Each structure stands twice: as C-alpha cells, then as structure tokens.
Structure 1
Amino acid sequence: MKLSTKHLVLGAILMSALGPLGEIFVGTVYQYVAGFPLWQYQIFPVHHAYTSLYAPVIWAVGGVELCLMDAYLRGKTASRMWRHIFLAVDILIVELLINIGLVLAFGQMIFRYTPGDLLHFSSLQTLPFYFIAGLVFTGAFKILKPNSYRAALLFGFIMFVVVFLAN
C-alpha cells in the first residue's frame, strides 16, 4: 500500500482526535469497573487526568507511525488479526519509549499507569484497548481516505473541542 503525504496528514489528524476521545472513554469505563484509574496524565492533565493538553501531539505522531506500520505490515502478512496484534504491541512499545524518554530527559513521566507490571511506564492491560484502537483507526482511515481534506478538518475540529474547550 502506497501512502501519500496527504494520507499521513489525515492519519495524524485522525489520531489526534480519536486518541484523546479514546483515552477519556477507556479511562472513564476502567475507573468505573476497576474502581481506580488505569493511568493518569502528569503533565497538563485534563478530563480527570485521562488525557492531556499534549495528547493531540503525541497521538498525531502515533497516527503517522500507525499509518507507516500498517502499510509495512500489509506487505508482510495478509492476516488482519496479526496486523492488529502487532499494531497493539507497537503502540505499547512507543508508549514505553515516550514515557521513559521523558523521564530520562526531564525527570517526569507524561502519564503514570496505576498497575506496576511495566514499572508504571505503561501496562500490559492496555493491549486489548490498543488492539481495538488499531481496528477503529484502520477502519476509519480506510473509510475516510477518499474525503481526506474534509475528514481532516472535521476531526481537527472535534479534537480541539474535546481536548481544549470541553474540559
């Protein structure tokens, strides 16, 4: 699958909206079911610390990375399930790298996970959520590609309202 710059920009904007929305949804449901938060943002937290003012930037970079990784995996395996398992593990690894990198550079995590299975940098409990997120992202991306510019504007607006105005 060949990706254009336009598709990478759409992926970035799409994830900058879907990422924080997903964090708020998953964080709220997890808190309700488990009785404690799965994670809490430490830097510029909003929406009960389920997301951050920085989250759209982090998720935008993740969107580009997911587009590239999905295109690469499509050439390596025909199995949709295995592609999404790899994407979920990839998201977890990127999350670990971001959090560990910030601790090394600035002495502070951007988010802290309550479960300590990965030293609070992330948690294996996120893998099912990331698997679902990969399905949602690739499905939405596939549907929206023909209308890239309108979709990018719509999702950019949604991200702005949710993260910055509806706090």
Structure 2
Amino acid sequence: MDFPTASAVRVTTGEPAGPVQPGWEYGVPVSFVRDLVARWRDEYDWRAHEARLNAVPQFTTEIDGQLVHFAHVRSPEPDATPLILTHGWPNTFAEYLGLIGPLTGFYYENAHEEKATEPTTFPIGLASFAYDFRPLRRFAERDHTTIVHWNEYDRGSHWAAHDAPDLLVADIREFFTKLA
C-alpha cells in the first residue's frame, strides 16, 4: 500500500475533503509513524520545549469547583481589548505559543467609540479549516445575528495553531480589523 509522506499529508488539493485527510481513511499511515518515531528519537529536544513553555507566565484558578490552568500575557498597549483563546480536550495551551508574539502587539482599541445604551451581542468570527468540521453558515446565521467574519480555508485542520499558524494568525488579525 502506498502511503503519503508526513509532509504530503499536510498538503491539500484545494477540494473540501471533510475531517479525514487523504491517506488517513484507515488510520495513521505507517510512513507518518516512522517519521514521528525518528523525530522523537533523533531530533526532539524536550529541554528546549520545556523552556519555551516556562517562558510564558502561567497560573491556576478555581472556577465553579474546577481547577483551570491558563497563561496570561498582557499586550504592551494599555488600552488593548483582551483576547481569550481557549482549547478543548485533549489539546493544550501550548498549541497557541506561536501566536502570542504576533497577537500581543495587535489590538482593537475602542476608547473613541460611542458607548452602547442598550444591550448588544458580541461580534462573532469563524475560521473553518479544510480538515475539520465544516459548519453550515445558514445555521450559524440563525443563531448569531452578529457574524462579522467568516472564512473557509483549503488547508489546516482542528489543530490550525500547529498545521496552519500563518492562516490562523492572519484570520484573527483580520477579524479584529473588522471591528475597528
């Protein structure tokens, strides 16, 4: 059986393929496992990764009886709007480490905007990547009246911070630009 190489698995044809990447229909390709084992055995430097993790200020707090771990990085701009990036299980905040630098210097400043006098809803943006769940816009528009940003990409996956960080950073920046 001819499996694509690990690098080929990350490349798309431009056609929406759904959540399963080509070559992965029956599980993890052998060539990918070989490449992964070789990287861990011969190249990976845990101490360098550990230092990268520890360079970010980290804290824990309790919310509704649940211990929550988080990284807190302030923007150098005193009036920057806070941005919260969350992840689900089994993911980790480490997936966002490469986004901290590009995003902490970029912010939406609303100090000169007229303050709302009535309750408002918050703006929503969506980035849909090729190898992740494809949302149906009509259902999103039914439930959210303030969709200001919607992009569908032909590469990337549920782990866009890893396999398409350039797209993810550009998408987040574009979203906040639209709020200006």
TM-score tier, shorter chain, comes to: under 0.3
| RCO higher in structure (CA 8 A, sep ≥6) | 1
Higher-strand-fraction structure: 2
TM-score of the pair, normalised by structure 2: 0.24
Q: Indicate the structure (1 or 2) with the bigger Cα radius of gyration.
A: 2
Higher-helix-fraction structure: 1
TM-score of the pair, normalised by structure 1: 0.26
